Amino acid sequence: MKLKLFVFLFSAMMFGFFLIQPAQAHTPLCSCYDNGDGSVTCEGGFSDGSSAAGVQMRVEDSAGKVLLKGKMDDYSEFTFDKPAGDYKVTFDAGEGHEITVHGKEIF
Amino acid sequence: MNSRLLVALAGQPNCGKSTVFNALTGAKQHVANYPGVTVDKMSGWYKHGDTRVDVVDLPGTYSLTFYSPEERVSRDFILNEKPDVVVNVMDASNIKRCLYLTFQVMETETPMVLDLNMMDVADNRGVIINVDALTRILGVPVVATSMKQSRGKKELFNAIADTARKKSSLALFKVDYGPLEESISIIFDMIRQDPGDLKTYPARWLAIKLMEGDEEVKKLIKEKGGQGRQILNRVEDLRNQFEAEYDQDTALAVAQARYAAADKVAAGCLTLPTEKKKSMSDRIDAVVCHKFMGPLVLVGVIWLLYYLSIVQGYNLTNYTWPLLAKLRGFVAAIVPAPGFIDVPLISSFALWLIDSVNALLNYIPIFFILFGLIAVMEDSGYMPRMAFIMDRLFSRYGLHGQSTLPMVLGGIYVGGCAVPGVMSCKGIPDERSRLTTILIIPMLNCLAKVPLYVLLINIYFAAHKGLAMFFISTISFLMVLPVSKFLTTTVLKDKPTSPFVMEMPPYHLPTIRGVVGRAVERVWLFIKKITSIVVALAVVIFILLQFPGISPQRRAEFEARRDQAITKFRSSITQTPYAETLAGDKLMEMVLYWKNYKDKRMLTRSAEANAALNDEFKKINPQFFVIARPGKDEVAGKVNRSFKELFRTRKGLLLEMRKERINQSFLGKMGRALEPATQFAGFNWRINVALLSAFAAKESSVATLGALYEQNNDGGDGSLESRMAKEEEGFTPLHALALMMFMVLYPPCLATSIAVKLQSGSVKWMLFGMFYPMVLGVGVATFIFTGGTLLGLSGLQAMGVFYAIALCIAIATGFIKTKSEFEDARQMSIA
Amino acid sequence: MTLDELKPGNSGIIKKLSIRDKLGQRLMDMGLYPGLTLNVVRNAPLEDPLEVEIDGYFISLRHEEARFIEVENT
């Protein structure tokens, strides 16, 4: 009984102890590719190797109107149909972790 | 002539002593610790002719009593290490007060040089000092300097060398202690004749200290004196006699005599300005310490601090990250390459390590700016003003006015970082409130926790985002106050306290050299002490995560899927010329080629860099490049799409295998083991494992949790209704609230814990600082969840109720009086 | 009267320190000794601590500490 308690306390401590790593101060990364079939894929990540799955993505036209929204999938990728005209894609991980890529830079 | 000299720098705070130290030793400095105390030992050296002079910068002290560790360390150094020369740095505008210390240093009978510093300020004020007269009266060489402008440096070097050579000195001014002189003589004789081990100490110094009631010297006499007992008894008698006759405390009488002597000396050499000008600092303080303007200025300064360090610091990391990534790339290049689903242990280990290190190193720009700004605040003289404004509030809870900056750094309202917060606690003079501050800082708004709050709020409190954000930003401060109070009145009850009495020094313009120097020094300390331990522990975590690993049976299943995917791919390209290019092992090569390309592409930020990258890869393997970037080539385009699908499948397999490995690992077992307890806080084992793996597998916990809910969300596109419908999944806003409060209170990260150990000087406090938040965090989360469930409260209602409770407790505890040391002070009878 | 009773803008001469040991020593070390003239500059925004000027430099102390300094208003 005492051993179980000890194991519990110890694991609880290890659990929380490591949980809040300063690893969250990571720099966001994102790059996009034109797939050649009318779609564009953006891949995201963070400087400490964290995955970007679940990060909000949005595509806006040159006037800033939001054309479409979505999220990075489990593979940290986001594929969307290439809009006509000028556009930009934003990788928005919140809290100042934002990267915007302009359509003309995607090829 | 000696080939080596030891020089000590002594002086009161705010006399420019560190400027003198920097001027003497230049870049050749280093910081260590005096054994047994958390006082910094600053040492350096310089060459004068063919003599090497070692310089120790003693802590700035107003006096040499036994009450504070800084004073004890200073006098022990002078008496035991026996420096060849003591340089007493003085503020030329404040001679009378500085002499108070000077006389005490003289009594140690060590050869001295007086450095009358900050002459420029004295000149501005209209204070005139006759340096020759001063030299004559005191019998000690006096050098006038203005070290900030390097004036007087050469003269100081020479004075030190001369004094060391002469060794005589000691035709010194002696303080006349009036009626006490008789008692001092008696004790002096007793000490001189003592058969014991007291010969190495200056007898008059010992006698005077004994008459002052110095506890440390009493101990010394007891230990080293042959007739210690007799001496101490005699001292007791003489002191009682004096106090009865003159109705004055002997210690205060001694101090008074010193000031009287200082007056006499000043009369012989000092001319004060006739007209009293209001100093610049006083005028600034009229605003900075003003009833309404003061707090506004404080808020402004704090805002500026956050803006410069965190916002701009992040921007800086955009430039430093590519360097770290290159480092990672280098490591990746030298370890064995991964296979389709196998990753060699050594490779994953090496990459895991480099990722851990990079994560910490990525903080450096932010820390550098932060530490620099702290140095600016310290050097400029603004810190005491912060303490002046906030002390009333903080001292009610067992904290101190000087806790203001550390707490701001830890994160008040917006996110901060506990590491610099804890490290800046050095300045808090009172041991009890210093420890209290150190222990509660990790509870404040750590920047790393913020993304998690944002995620949970976006999912579970989306309709009341503003309220929820306000709640989470202020609740930590609200809880810190009662917790401090609690700690002060229980665990830290018996720690020594110190008087608040503090100088408000004139404002100074900090020097770039001083600020940058200190910032560099502290960043280096961070790297050395903290990073090393985190890396060591990363090794442990790696083991906990990797083993026991995937079972052979499951492994075979994964391999089967791999083969399936590859076969499918090959069959899709058999008709094309590329089948040849990707035959056999070359397929794996292509996989690595593509991965490499993508990784490098992440770092390019301009069209030119992009083009250069493409050229580079074209050269490495032109055929692979066509597959990677087919452009208009239709056949290549088809192969490209097939290949990308294969690549994705691989990614999927690797992810699945990793998740499974984690689930099966020791860490995963822990998550499951914890469930019986954590369920009261609303966490099932899957949450536990997700959180564990979130940190451990370096998945951003935000993304993992987000993905966790996406994965289980079959029908919806993430709409509120479909997520709410997952109540059966068990996670409600109440759960989220419990989880958030858990995160608020939970133990500090590893780096912070190490900082706690460094600042508190003991492993015991580090462990306590990790343990009590755990109890508190689990307790509060359980209270919220179980209480909220029993009362049938929604998440939002529970939030409101909890906030109200916390507010009431915070206010109520403020009214409990902590026993002040002076409640039962011995009052002197009034004549 | 004691120092904590002296209002900002007023001056006084220190008559006596009615405490010894750690606080008494500290007050003396900082330059607050009998015979000295001081000038109360201001109270903090939250009333406590207070700031005094002595001989051209400035010291701040809590009211509970100032209670032990007897002064004569001038």
Q: Given CB atoms, is B1 within the 8 Å cutoff of chain C?
A: no
Distance from the B830 Cα atom to the nearest Cα atom in chain C, whole angstroms: 8
Amino acid at site B506: P
Distance from the B723 Cα atom to the nearest Cα atom in chain A, whole angstroms: 15
Of C33, C34, C44, the CB nearest to B391: C44
**Could you tell me if residue B685 is inside a domain?**
no
CA angle B295, B475, B293 (to 5 degrees): 5
Residues of chain B contacting residue C21, judged by C-beta atoms under 8 Å apart: 251, 825-826
**Could you tell me if residue B400 is inside a domain?**
yes
Residues of chain A contacting residue B702, judged by C-beta atoms under 8 Å apart: 54, 93-94
Q: Given CB atoms, is C9 within the 8 Å cutoff of chain B?
A: no
Q: How many Å apart are CA A77 and CA B155, to the nearest integer?
A: 69
- Do chain C and A touch: 3 or more Cβ pairs under 8 angstroms? no
Q: Which of A15, A35, A78, A97 to mutate to test the interface with B (most CBs of B within 10 A)?
A: A15
Domain count, chain B: 4
Query: Going by C-beta distance under 8 Å and a sequence separation of 6 or more, which residues neighbour residue B633?
Result: B626
Residues of chain C contacting residue B389, judged by C-beta atoms under 8 Å apart: 44-46
Does B202 lie in the same domain as B93?
no
Residue of chain B with shortest Cα separation from A106 = B607
Instruction: Give chain A's end-to-end CA distance (angstroms, integer).
Output: 63
Contact B256 C42 (CB under 8 A): no
Angle, nearest 10°, between helix axes B250-269 and B95-107?
120
In the beta sheet, which residues pair with residue B33?
Answer: B40
Contact C46 B63 (CB under 8 A): no
In this predicted structure, what is the pLDDT of residue B281? Answer: 85
Does B211 lie in the same domain as B121?
no
Q: Given CB atoms, is C49 within the 8 Å cutoff of chain B?
A: yes
In this predicted structure, what is the pLDDT of residue A95? Answer: 61
Q: Given CB atoms, is C1 within the 8 Å cutoff of chain B?
A: no
Residues of chain A contacting residue B353, judged by C-beta atoms under 8 Å apart: none
Distance from the B429 Cα atom to the nearest Cα atom in chain A, whole angstroms: 29
Query: Going by C-beta distance under 8 Å and a sequence separation of 6 or more, which residues neighbour residue B719?
Result: none
Contact B695 A93 (CB under 8 A): no
Of B281, B294, B502, the CB nearest to C45: B294
Contact B691 A19 (CB under 8 A): yes
Q: Tell me if C45 sits within 8 A of B292, measured CB to CB.
A: yes
Residues of chain B contacting residue A95, judged by C-beta atoms under 8 Å apart: 450-451, 454
Q: Tell me if B809 sits within 8 A of B482, measured CB to CB.
A: yes
Distance from the B762 Cα atom to the nearest Cα atom in chain A, whole angstroms: 18
Of C20, C27, C49, the CB nearest to B826: C20
Q: Report the candidate in B748, B799, B797 with the shortest Cα–Cα distance to residue B777.
A: B748
Give the chains touching B; criterion: ≥3 Cβ pairs < 8 Å. Answer: A, C
pLDDT tens-digit map of A46-66: 776 667 777 889 999 888 898
Distance from the C18 Cα atom to the nearest Cα atom in chain B, whole angstroms: 5
Residue of chain B with shortest Cα separation from C23 = B499
Residues of chain A contacting residue B655, judged by C-beta atoms under 8 Å apart: 74-75
The residue whose two tokens read 């720099």 is: A27
Contact A22 B602 (CB under 8 A): no
| Domain that residue B102 falls in | 3-166
Q: Given CB atoms, is C39 within the 8 Å cutoff of chain B?
A: no
**Could you tell me if residue B182 is inside a domain?**
yes
CATH code, domain with C53: 2.30.30.90
Q: Given CB atoms, is A5 within the 8 Å cutoff of chain B?
A: no
Does B215 lie in the same domain as B125?
no
**Could you tell me if residue B266 is inside a domain?**
yes
Contact C31 B100 (CB under 8 A): yes
Three-state DSSP at B276 gives coil
Does B461 lie in the same domain as B556?
no
Q: How many Å apart are CA B445 and CA B417, to the nearest integer?
A: 8
User: Residue B334's CB: how many other CB atoms inside 10 A?
Assistant: 8
User: Residue B544's CB: how many other CB atoms inside 10 A?
Assistant: 19
Q: Edge-to-edge, what's the strand order for the sheet holding C69-73?
A: B502-503, C57-61, C50-54, C37-43, C11-17, C69-73
Q: How many CB pairs under 8 A join B and C?
A: 147
CATH code, domain with B247: 1.10.287.1770
**Could you tell me if residue B221 is inside a domain?**
yes
Q: Which of B749, B754, B767 to mutate to test the interface with A (most CBs of A within 10 A)?
A: B749
Does B425 lie in the same domain as B307?
yes
Helix (H) or strand (E) run with residue B807 in it: helix B795-814
Contact B446 A11 (CB under 8 A): no
In this predicted structure, what is the pLDDT of residue A96? Answer: 63
Contact B749 A20 (CB under 8 A): yes
- Mean pLDDT, rounded, of chain C: 91
Residue B822 burial class via C-beta count within 10 angstroms: exposed 0-12, middle 13-18, buried 19 and up: middle
Does B213 lie in the same domain as B140?
no
Does B319 lie in the same domain as B196?
no
Three-state DSSP at B138 gives helix
Q: Which residues of chain B have pLDDT under 70?
A: 1-2, 167-171, 451, 455, 677-731, 747, 818-831
Does B44 lie in the same domain as B14?
yes
In this predicted structure, what is the pLDDT of residue C29? Answer: 94
Residue B331 burial class via C-beta count within 10 angstroms: exposed 0-12, middle 13-18, buried 19 and up: middle
CATH code, domain with B92: 3.40.50.300
Domain count, chain C: 1
Predicted confidence band at A25 (pLDDT cuts at 50, 70, 90)? low
Residues of chain A contacting residue B685, judged by C-beta atoms under 8 Å apart: none
Does B242 lie in the same domain as B129?
no
Residue of chain A with shortest Cα separation from B710 = A54
In this predicted structure, what is the pLDDT of residue B571? Answer: 86
Domain boundary among B271, B305, B320: B271
Residue of chain B with shortest Cα separation from C33 = B256
Distance from the B296 Cα atom to the nearest Cα atom in chain C, whole angstroms: 11
In this predicted structure, what is the pLDDT of residue B508? Answer: 85
Q: Given CB atoms, is A75 within the 8 Å cutoff of chain B?
A: yes
**Could you tell me if residue B265 is inside a domain?**
yes
Does B100 lie in the same domain as B65?
yes
| Domain that residue C48 falls in | 3-73
The residue whose two tokens read 């408000």 is: B504
**Could you tell me if residue B688 is inside a domain?**
no
Of A18, A36, A107, the CB nearest to B750: A18
User: Residue B401's CB: how many other CB atoms inside 10 A?
Assistant: 29
Tell me the ipTM for this assembly. Answer: 0.96
Residues of chain A contacting residue B688, judged by C-beta atoms under 8 Å apart: 15
Contact C60 B384 (CB under 8 A): yes
Q: Given CB atoms, is C8 within the 8 Å cutoff of chain B?
A: no
Distance from the B290 Cα atom to the nearest Cα atom in chain C, whole angstroms: 6
Predicted confidence band at A26 (pLDDT cuts at 50, 70, 90)? low
Q: Given CB atoms, is A3 within the 8 Å cutoff of chain B?
A: no
Distance from the B28 Cα atom to the nearest Cα atom in chain A, whole angstroms: 33
Instruction: Say whether pTM exceeds 0.90.
Output: no
Q: How many Å apart are CA B756 and CA B404, to the nearest integer?
A: 17
**Could you tell me if residue B613 is inside a domain?**
yes
Q: Given CB atoms, is A39 within the 8 Å cutoff of chain B?
A: no
Contact C65 B501 (CB under 8 A): yes
Contact C19 B251 (CB under 8 A): no
- The 3-state secondary structure of B19-64 reads HHHHHHHCCCEEEEECCCCCCEEEEEEEEECCEEEEEEECCCCCCC
Three-state DSSP at B242 gives helix
Q: Given CB atoms, is C22 within the 8 Å cutoff of chain B?
A: yes
Q: Is the pLDDT of residue A85 over 70?
A: yes
Give the chains touching C; criterion: ≥3 Cβ pairs < 8 Å. Answer: B
Residues of chain C contacting residue B505, judged by C-beta atoms under 8 Å apart: 57-58
Predicted confidence band at A93 (pLDDT cuts at 50, 70, 90)? confident
In this predicted structure, what is the pLDDT of residue A48? Answer: 63
- Do chain A and B touch: 3 or more Cβ pairs under 8 angstroms? yes
- Do chain B and C touch: 3 or more Cβ pairs under 8 angstroms? yes
